[in-house]
């Protein structure tokens, strides 16, 4: 019936997004393979709902199965306290996204361990683990459905009021109400196209709706106009509040707001500190910051 057709259209669109985002087919196949081969414990250890212990990587070493010679992460230890925001910065290929992949248990480290709220994620149910984590990806997947349903994707049992509240917190309510049919406006390939900044705020609304204690934010690299940038920044502030956040940072505003910046190079943490502290060291961070953020006289 209609539901099936809608799902098929939505699915084909997501699939297109995945292909564009991931690029190489090899990566997708490897991901699917890894997920299907995932060992789920028979009696998983529950991860508490209120996370008082944050996230910890302890001496993690990892290489992707297709590249046994190359360590994507090594000697990797990182403690993120509850409510803390840690920004990950580093050159392309340094291992930043790998940190997310491992935390979400799309892959399992060859050595070391990762704990969430004190629970080794290998001992947890991957489904429950992923319920505790909200993700804002670089590219927002928009489904062939109404704005309302696109936001509901953050939490499928959310009521319409919760969706509006999430949109308000994500600084999206105003532009949504200005659309031809408001929250009922149809999006996707055959529907209305949103701007990059609007799509990002939809992704943020989804994450707010999910209300998970841990947030993984892969900041978009595309630049927005000043007005849109300000709205996205406001939305992000709401989202990050009180959550344990790891952000792959591409914006100056984000690193300035972070409690700590961790610099990753060749799979290892090479420095950490605040923006000012790291600039003073005149090392990799200072060079990256000059390239990525431009003028640093603040």
Among 16, 41, 93, 159, binds ligand ATP (CB under 6 A): 93
Q: Name the residue nearer to ligand ATP (CB basis): 113 or 266.
A: 266
Q: Give the chain's largest Cα–Cα span.
A: 63
For 223-260, b/e burial (b = at least 16 CB within 10 A) is ebeeebeebbeebbebbbeebbbbbbbbbbbbbebbeb
Among 4, 37, 67, 157, binds ligand ATP (CB under 6 A): 67
Q: Is 90 in the site for ligand ATP (CB under 6 A)?
A: yes
**37 sits in which H/E element:** none
Q: Name the residue nearer to ligand ATP (CB basis): 97 or 128.
A: 97
Q: Name the residue nearer to ligand ATP (CB basis): 72 or 117.
A: 72
CA 147 to each of CA 33, 130, 150, 159, 220: distance values in angstroms, whole numbers, following the listed order: 33, 24, 5, 14, 21
Q: Is 61 in the site for ligand ATP (CB under 6 A)?
A: no
Q: Is 60 in the site for ligand ATP (CB under 6 A)?
A: no
CA angle 92, 85, 222 (to 5 degrees): 40
Could you tell me how many residues of this chain bind ligand ATP (CB under 6 A)? 14
List the beta bridge partners of residue 255: none
Residue 90 CB, nearest approach to ligand ATP (Å): 5
Q: Is 265 in the site for ligand ATP (CB under 6 A)?
A: no
Q: Name the residue nearer to ligand ATP (CB basis): 95 or 126.
A: 95
Q: Name the residue nearer to ligand ATP (CB basis): 73 or 209.
A: 73
Q: Which stretch binds ligand ATP (CB under 6 A): 90-98, 128-136, 153-161, 288-296?
A: 90-98
Q: Which stretch binds ligand ATP (CB under 6 A): 38-46, 76-84, 92-100, 113-121?
A: 92-100
CA 153 to each of CA 74, 222, 241, 253: distance values in angstroms, whole numbers, following the listed order: 35, 24, 21, 28
- Contacts (Cβ under 8 Å, ≥6 apart) of 67: none
Q: Name the residue nearer to ligand ATP (CB basis): 89 or 205.
A: 89
List the beta bridge partners of residue 61: 111
Distance CA 105, CA 115 (A): 11
- Contacts (Cβ under 8 Å, ≥6 apart) of 9: 144, 188, 189, 190
Residue 260 CB, nearest approach to ligand ATP (Å): 18
Closest CA to 201 of 165, 173, 160, 159: 173
Among 6, 17, 30, 148, binds ligand ATP (CB under 6 A): 30
Q: Is 98 in the site for ligand ATP (CB under 6 A)?
A: yes
Residue 298 CB, nearest approach to ligand ATP (Å): 24
Q: Which stretch binds ligand ATP (CB under 6 A): 45-53, 63-71, 207-215, 230-238?
A: 63-71
List the beta bridge partners of residue 245: 85, 215
Q: Is 146 in the site for ligand ATP (CB under 6 A)?
A: no
Q: Is 64 in the site for ligand ATP (CB under 6 A)?
A: yes
**Residues in contact with ligand ATP by the rule CB under 6 A:** 27, 30, 64, 66-67, 72, 90, 92-98
């Amino acid at each position: 019936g209609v539901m099936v057709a809608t799902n098929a259209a939505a699915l084909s669109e997501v699939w297109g997004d995945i292909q564009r985002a991931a690029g190489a087919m090899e990566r997708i196949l490897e991901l699917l393979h890894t997920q299907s081969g995932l060992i789920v414990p028979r009696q998983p250890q529950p991860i508490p709902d209120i996370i008082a212990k944050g996230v910890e990587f302890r001496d993690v070493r990892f290489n992707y199965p297709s590249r046994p010679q190359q360590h994507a992460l090594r000697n990797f230890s990182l403690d993120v306290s509850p409510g803390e925001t840690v920004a990950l910065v580093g050159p392309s290929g340094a291992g930043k996204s790998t940190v997310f992949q491992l935390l979400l248990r799309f892959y399992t480290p060859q050595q070391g361990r990762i704990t969430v709220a004190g629970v080794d994620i290998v001992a947890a149910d991957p489904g429950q683990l992923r319920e505790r984590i909200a993700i804002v990806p670089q590219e927002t997947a928009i489904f062939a459905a109404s704005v309302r349903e696109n936001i509901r994707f953050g939490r499928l049992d959310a009521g319409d009021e919760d969706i509006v509240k999430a949109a308000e917190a994500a600084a999206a309510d105003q532009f949504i109400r200005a659309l031809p049919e408001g929250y009922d406006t149809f999006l996707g390939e055959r529907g209305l196209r949103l701007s990059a900044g609007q799509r990002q705020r939809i992704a943020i609304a989804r994450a707010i709706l999910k209300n998970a204690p841990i947030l993984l934010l892969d900041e978009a690299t595309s630049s927005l106009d000043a007005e849109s940038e300000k709205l996205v920044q406001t939305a992000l502030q709401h989202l990050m509040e009180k959550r344990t956040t790891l952000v792959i940072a591409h914006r100056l505003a984000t690193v300035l707001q972070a409690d700590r910046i961790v610099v990753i190079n060749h799979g290892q943490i090479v420095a950490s500190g605040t923006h000012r502290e790291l600039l003073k060291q005149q090392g990799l961070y200072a060079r990256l910051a000059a390239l990525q953020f431009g003028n640093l006289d603040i």
